[in-house]
Amino acid sequence: MVSQPLFTTLAPTIEWRAGDLLLLDQTRLPHEMVVENVADVAAVWRAIRELRVRGAPAIGVAAAYGLCIAMRDSTALPIAQFRAELERHANWLETARPTAVNLSWGLRRMLRHARATDAKDAATLYEALVDEAMRIHAEDRALCEGIGEHGMPLIAQDCGVLTHCNAGALATTGLGTATAPIYAAHRAGVAFRVYADETRPLLQGARLTAFELQQAGVDVTLIMDSAAASIMSQGLIDLVIVGTDRVAANGDFANKIGTLGLAIAANHYGIPFYVACPSSTLDLETPAGARIEIEERDAEEVTHLAGQRIAPDGMKARNPAFDVTPHALVTGFITELGIVRAPFERSLRSLFATEGSAA
């Protein structure tokens, strides 16, 4: 269905090449295509924190490989010391960003694999870690394809689809999450249009989503965040699909700031509102959205634009990176196993409790 390459000009978001971790620096897009060879675990932490690698699924893959980078030069250590260092690096990497559950999910999975591996020496355990990170990487691509397959029927001929931030190929190592149904429908020859919110303050919609959709030949129009409700009121939007960084057990979910307003507007105009959610982003240990920690970023991201101050000197600013949308505003979750509908607390747990989620 989606086996052919979509892009001819985009470098892979993440690549593991003979012990080296290569990351596409997303802060330089769309003007420059820069691939960074990440030298050490501190550089991986900074790449996640500074959004050079971003998007919940991509962060999970990068973190798994980050542990491999952390332990790459420690294979001569005694096995007990190697294991202790592995735990220390995992705990530190987890501090890079608090909201996206894939970060802790990927690190916990790596640690579980290390504990279950009966290795007699550090070199053997290191190879087992690399194998597991590569499995996480391959699974991410497969999850994206599954979301594309199950979400594609939602996109009808001549419909308008609204998306927010970047839950695309650049946020994963595959087709993306929210964009996977879009790419699948585009490949199937469905004629439709996409409206991409610019996504202030860091403009992931303008810099990344609009860019990658344009590169793939999708009919995409960039709009201001504040124009979304007006565009809905004109009857131009038939469907909203967004991604997510964490889904609580009851179906409340965290996504890029501005998602809550879209959900409220979509509910007002009777527009279906879907969330693309791979199993790696489901957190059954968190009962409700009120328990999700929301990352607060530097105020300068709000007071400045492209390095230029746009607010008065000394102006205070709030910069929450995410908001939480209550499950009552969600039509369904598009997962790699199918579309999940309310009651979410029962349906999500039933489908994913044994499927390797963050539970």
Residues classed as catalytic: 245
> Is 56 labelled a binding residue?
yes
DSSP secondary structure, 113-149, as one string: HHHH---SSHHHHHHHHHHHHHHHHHHHHHHHHHHHH
**Ordered alpha helix ranges (H), the chain:** 41-49, 56-71, 79-93, 101-116, 122-151, 180-187, 204, 210-215, 228-233, 259-269, 300-303, 344-352
349 labeled binding residue: no
The answer on whether 255 is annotated among ligand-binding residues is yes
Element at 222 (helix H, strand E):
strand 220-223
Residue 248 marked ligand-binding: no
How many whole angstroms separate alpha carbon 132 and alpha carbon 297? 32
Name the residue type at position 74: S
Q: Is 120 annotated as a binding residue?
A: no
**Distance between terminal CA atoms of the chain?**
30
Annotated binding site for substrate: 54-56, 97, 204, 255-256
